[in-house]
């Protein structure tokens, strides 16, 4: 994803990726990324867990503003199935 991100960013469009494989995200030097230690195939969270998914998505969008140095990866603190999420859908 980081390779595609760089091309999009060259066109002037900021990007952020949601990663569950930190090693590969760092290796391809994604311009901006957030990392979650979650199972493969679930970058936004558990199926049908809207609060969890909205929280991750909103945090990723916030990273667009926060990350100033290319290649920065923010480790998100959320834990798979053991974290309380606020309602970000309203």
21-62, pLDDT tens digit by residue?
999 999 999 999 999 999 999 999 999 989 999 999 999 999
Q: Do 74 and 35 meet the contact criterion of CB atoms below 8 Å apart? A: yes
Is residue 88 in a domain? Answer: no
54 is written with which tokens? 């909205």
Is residue 82 in a domain? Answer: no
In this prediction, residues 58-84 reach a mean pLDDT of 90
Is residue 42 in a domain? Answer: yes
Count the domains in the chain: 1
Higher pLDDT, 40 or 90: 40
Range of the domain at 23: 2-75
Is residue 86 in a domain? Answer: no
């Amino acid at each position: 994803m980081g390779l595609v991100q760089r091309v999009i960013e060259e066109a002037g469009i900021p990007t952020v990726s949601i990663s569950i494989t930190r090693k590969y995200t760092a290796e391809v030097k994604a311009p901006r990324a957030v990392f979650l230690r979650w199972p493969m195939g679930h970058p936004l969270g558990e199926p049908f867990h809207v609060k969890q998914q909205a929280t991750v998505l909103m945090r990723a969008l916030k990273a667009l503003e926060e990350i100033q140095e290319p290649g920065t990866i923010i480790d998100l603190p959320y834990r798979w199935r053991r974290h309380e999420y606020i309602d970000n859908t309203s």
